[in-house]
């Protein structure tokens, strides 16, 4: 008798069935549709698909597509994703699965692929991601799915469905998270997912499917891909940051063994930049928050007895070194509060999602005189009067990232020098998501909306334009943080 559920180690709260029917027992295979967790390890969705494959004794196909028709699709993002596909192709070479990387070249060419593959599938398992166009995929596909379709939440330590409200300040989210610590410590996807299962022999993709949607030829080297034939924005060039799991793990090991010790001191200074620079890898799913969390705890020889009572404070809960306490706060509180917002608020990316007090104070100052007003093009080309701001924008355009402290200043000044807060929001979203490798992420919206007051409180004195929204200036930034080298690096 086919079952709609199988016993598994994946917490049920992470599995949802948008098309909740029995597996199709005459289906030929189980299909894993990889769209957000682009990795072969530490991935609950792949784990779920492998479980179905073992249980139903049907081969596993992994489809990793990259389409062109999404907003901000450009050479930079595509190069990063393709590097991840290469790593997946290598990792899966010796596994009992069929890996099917697909690159859409022209808009619409990829349409119909997932439906065609699903026709012969027993079960389709997909990733659940609460932001950008991926947020809407499950509803779209559920209306078309011809077999059982499940989505799995492997985003972070806190399952998306545990909080039943949107948290408006970090302190209350942190306290909530600390109270769930037993759950966080108990849930961990398998590190090496596929080696855990007895999978049937792989099945080749049907010829008629490959004729219409040829498998991407992913070179097993790091050479830049030729994107000229692809319907994407070629004005945003790839950066030196190489995507993929191999590079993510290299950076992560390097951070853990060398740089994490000074994270709390070095992180805020662009000249020493002690942060992990892993946000693009987290964004594209090349590394998981789970592996980072458990590695960090192991690195600190953490024992459960060290835990303090939940108090919502940044320090003193995990009772590990100050640097790691600070790092865990970014990973568990600041990263995951954004997932909470995107998951529960369908207006997460619109101005109206801001708290009432924020909109009221910005509205009160909407007509205030602005000494400087720049257009999107002037911001984009770093043509403001402020060398610190221009340097940050140049780093974004060139490297696809901005140092975290300067990213806050970058946003605050866009608010300061735009015609209105609504226009400032549009400009931040456009520039961040177009150039930042970690853009189009729940954190993108946390950061950008934080600039406008989300997760914050009113700050005095009340000022022009900002009202009681927290203010930042380049002068005070120059006094507080070390950025001489940084300014030199990005002076033109």
Does residue number 83 form part of the binding site for ligand FAD (CB under 6 A)?
Answer: no
Is residue 260 a contact point for ligand FAD (CB under 6 A)? no
Residue 467, strand partner residues: 463
Q: Provide CB contacts within 8 A for 139, sequence distance 6+.
A: 18
What does the DSSP assignment read for 193-227? SGGGS-PPPP-PPPHHHHHHSPPP---SS-PPP--
3-class secondary-structure state, position 15: strand
Q: Does 77 bind ligand FAD (CB under 6 A)?
A: no
* Interface segment toward ligand FAD; rule CB under 6 A; list 30-38, 334-342, 351-359, 361-369: 334-342
Residues binding ligand FAD: what is the number (CB under 6 A)? 30
Q: How far is the CB of 447 from ligand FAD (least distance, A)?
A: 2
Alpha-carbon gap, residue 155 to 203, rounded angstroms? 29
In whole angstroms, give the CA distance from residue 56 to residue 30: 8
| Residue 29 φ/ψ, nearest 5 degrees | -155, 170
Euclidean distance between CA atoms 319 and 308, whole angstroms: 7
Q: Does 264 bind ligand FAD (CB under 6 A)?
A: no
Judging by DSSP bridges, how do beta strands 121-127 and 148-152 pair with one another?
parallel
Which range of residues in 26-34, 70-78, 276-284, 484-492 is near ligand FAD by CB under 6 A? 276-284
Each residue 377-416 as x (binds ligand FAD by CB under 6 A) or -, in order, gives ---------------------------x--xx--x-----
Whether the CB-CB separation of 269 and 482 falls below 8 Å is answered with: yes
Q: Does 335 bind ligand FAD (CB under 6 A)?
A: yes
Select the residue interacting with ligand FAD from 110, 270, 400, 439 (CB under 6 A).
439
Is the Cβ of residue 51 or residue 384 nearer to ligand FAD in the bound state? Answer: 384
Q: In terms of CB distance, is 95 or 441 closer to ligand FAD?
A: 441
Q: Does 155 bind ligand FAD (CB under 6 A)?
A: no
Beta bridge mates, 169: 455
Nearer to ligand FAD, 59 or 156 (CB): 156
Q: What is the widest separation between alpha-carbon atoms in the chain?
A: 72
Q: Is 117 in the site for ligand FAD (CB under 6 A)?
A: no
Interatomic CA distance for residues 108 and 249, integer angstroms: 34
Q: Per rule CB under 6 A, is residue 272 in the interface with ligand FAD? A: no
* Chain residues that interact with ligand FAD, rule: CB under 6 A: 267, 275-279, 282-283, 330-331, 334-335, 338, 404, 407-408, 411, 428, 432, 436, 438-439, 441, 443-444, 446-448, 450-451
């Amino acid at each position: 008798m086919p079952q709609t559920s199988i016993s598994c180690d994946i917490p049920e709260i992470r599995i949802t069935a948008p098309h909740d029917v029995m597996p199709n027992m005459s289906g030929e295979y189980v299909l894993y549709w990889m769209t957000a967790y682009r990795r072969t390890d530490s991935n609950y969705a792949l784990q779920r698909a492998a479980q179905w494959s073992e249980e139903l004794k049907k081969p596993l196909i992994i489809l990793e597509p990259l389409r062109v028709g999404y907003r901000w699709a450009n050479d930079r993002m595509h190069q990063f994703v393709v590097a991840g596909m290469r790593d997946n192709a290598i990792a899966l070479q010796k596994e009992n699965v069929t890996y099917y990387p697909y690159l859409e070249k022209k808009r619409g060419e990829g349409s119909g692929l997932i439906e065609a593959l699903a026709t012969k599938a027993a079960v389709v398992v997909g990733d659940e991601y609460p932001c950008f166009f991926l947020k809407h995929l499950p509803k779209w596909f559920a209306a078309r799915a011809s077999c059982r379709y499940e989505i799995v939440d492997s985003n972070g330590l806190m399952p998306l469905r545990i909080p039943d409200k949107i948290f408006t300040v970090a302190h209350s989210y942190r306290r909530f998270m600390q109270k769930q610590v037993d759950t966080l410590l108990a849930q961990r996807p398998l590190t090496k997912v596929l080696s855990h299962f007895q999978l049937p022999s792989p099945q080749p993709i049907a010829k008629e499917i490959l004729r219409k949607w040829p498998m991407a030829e992913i070179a097993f080297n790091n050479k830049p891909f030729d994107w000229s034939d692809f319907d994407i924005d070629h004005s945003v060039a790839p950066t030196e940051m190489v995507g993929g799991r191999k590079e993510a793990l290299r950076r992560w090991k390097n951070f853990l063994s060398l740089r994490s010790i000074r994270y709390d001191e070095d992180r805020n200074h662009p000249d020493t930049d002690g942060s992990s620079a892993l946000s693009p890898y987290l964004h594209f799913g090349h590394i998981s928050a789970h592996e980072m969390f458990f590695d960090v705890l192991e690195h600190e020889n953490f024992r459960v007895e060290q835990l303090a009572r939940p108090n919502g404070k940044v320090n003193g809960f995990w009772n590990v070194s100050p640097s790691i306490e600070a790092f865990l706060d970014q990973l568990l509180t600041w990263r995951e509060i954004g997932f909470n917002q995107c998951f529960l608020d369908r207006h997460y990316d619109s101005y109206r999602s801001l708290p009432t007090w924020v909109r009221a104070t910005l509205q009160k100052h909407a007509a205030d005189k602005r000494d400087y007003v720049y257009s999107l093009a002037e911001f984009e080309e770093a043509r403001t009067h402020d060398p610190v701001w221009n340097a940050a924008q140049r780093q974004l355009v060139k490297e696809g990232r901005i140092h975290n402290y300067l990213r806050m200043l970058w946003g605050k000044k866009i608010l300061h020098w735009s015609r209105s807060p609504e226009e400032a929001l549009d400009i931040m979203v456009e520039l961040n998501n177009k150039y930042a490798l970690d853009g189009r992420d729940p954190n993108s919206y946390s950061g950008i909306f934080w600039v406008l007051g989300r997760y914050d409180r009113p700050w005095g004195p009340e000022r022009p334009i900002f009202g009681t929204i927290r203010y930042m200036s380049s002068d005070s930034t120059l006094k507080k943080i070390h950025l001489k080298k940084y300014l030199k690096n990005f002076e033109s």
